[in-house]
Amino acid sequence: MNIGPHTFAEFRRLTEQFHGCAAPGILLGGRMVTAARAALPEGTLFEALVETRSCLPDAVQMLTPCSVGNKRLHVINHGKMALSLFDKYNGRGVRCFVDASRLGPWPEMRVWLMKEKSKEQQDSALLEQEIEQAGTSVMALADMRVHESFLGKKSSGPVVLCSGCGESYPREHGDKCLFCQGETPFVMWPRKTKTL
Amino acid sequence: MNIGPHTFAEFRRLTEQFHGCAAPGILLGGRMVTAARAALPEGTLFEALVETRSCLPDAVQMLTPCSVGNKRLHVINHGKMALSLFDKYNGRGVRCFVDASRLGPWPEMRVWLMKEKSKEQQDSALLEQEIEQAGTSVMALADMRVHESFLGKKSSGPVVLCSGCGESYPREHGDKCLFCQGETPFVMWPRKTKTL
């Protein structure tokens, strides 16, 4: 049972490159993406919606043309092991999720999903073996349709220069850019030595 | 002047694979990532903060170990062509941004950045040529430090099964998962034919 065009071992290697390690969520996520895609009509131009920030976004980005930067990958922070692929135009698609009621034969997956033990106490080798062997047997599919706010191209409108910092920003944000309005998740100051 | 370990032409090809097309923002973003990284002390374990959802997140994901799914890439939606790489532990780093005052010699970049013409009216070949030739001359660096809320590992706490849908979710979200509480960016219904 392949993950996209890759064997499990190949995909495992690729996750180490892209994600930094072969985390359980991304191995499982790879299977979920593959299952959802197989359930879409062939040739569908699709986007993706993942329901957790952990791991699943990377599985989607590694296996589909959907990325955060091309805005075809949408991330909502519901903390659920679930993802959907949906038709970009009509919003209809397929949701793949981990069905906790099917975890019986795979105790280490349950321990991991439900955080029944700390990461250090979990048996990561056994967990990975279970993920490989369980395949899609721990997942379920549902038909879905995204809210229409996900459809169509949204322009952020005209761009202007900020009277505070001089940088460009979307005029719809107001008289100044959001940073100069006080939304400051960071502080900054000029470098002593110019390097550019 | 390379983009990460790649020549401009190689990076261009890679963006077509990962991002779908060699968009101006990602070509410019590749340079910004390279410049910011070169300004960090060697060996720094860093995370990234990008200030727009467009293109820049993909430049970071292609050129650094930071991704959305491993939570080392943070995206804020300020609509600004700017990104920072910062020390994961002390939050100090370098911000690279497009300095609009330096765009004089590159009229097509200005047209693009300020949306002075529609996408169709822009000269995409000239734009790409300008991006390649301008290099980092249109950028500036600043020292920065992220807000401490970006530092340290945040656990989402215990996981429980939702009494509504039966799926696992973080207990801190409440009595039911956010979807079953009514946060529903999509509707779903059982598939007529089970495929898993």
- pLDDT at residue B194, as a whole number: 61
Quick: pLDDT tens for B1-59.
799 999 999 999 999 999 999 999 999 999 999 999 999 999 999 999 999 999 999 99
Is the CB of B80 less than 8 angstroms away from the CB of A184? Answer: no
Residues B161, B128, single domain; the answer is no
Residues B84, B116, single domain; the answer is yes
Residue A190 in domain: yes
- pLDDT at residue A195, as a whole number: 62
Please answer whether residues A136 and A1 qualify as being in contact, where contact means their C-beta atoms are separated by less than 8 angstroms: yes
Instruction: Give the total number of structural domains in chain B.
Output: 2
Claim: this prediction has a pTM higher than 0.90: yes
Nearest Cα residue in chain B from A98: B167
Residues B132-157: what's their mean pLDDT? 93
Establish, for the pair of chains A and B, how many residue pairs have beta carbons separated by less than 8 Å. Answer: 239
Is the CB of B141 less than 8 angstroms away from the CB of A194? Answer: yes
* Dihedral angle sign, alpha carbons of residues A153, A63, B61, A146: positive
Phi–psi pair at B17, nearest 5 degrees: -70, -50
- pLDDT at residue B195, as a whole number: 62
Range of the domain at A89: 8-150
Residues of chain A with pLDDT under 70: 193-195
Nearest Cα residue in chain A from B52: A69
Residue B174 in domain: yes
Nearest Cα residue in chain B from A139: B196
Q: Which residues of B20-56 are buried (b: 16+ CB within 10 A; e: fewer)?
A: bebbbbbbbbbbbbbbbbebbeeebebbbbbbbbbbb
- pLDDT over 70 (residue B193): no
How many CB atoms lie under 10 A from the CB of residue B156?
A: 16
Interface predicted TM-score (ipTM): 0.93
- pLDDT at residue B153, as a whole number: 82
Report the CATH number that the domain containing residue A112 is assigned in CATH.
Answer: 3.30.1330.130
Q: How far is B48 from chain A (nearest CA, A)?
A: 12
Instruction: Flag whether residue B189 sits within 8 Å of chain A, measured between CB atoms.
Output: yes
B155 pLDDT band (50/70/90 cuts)? confident
Q: How far is B2 from chain A (nearest CA, A)?
A: 15
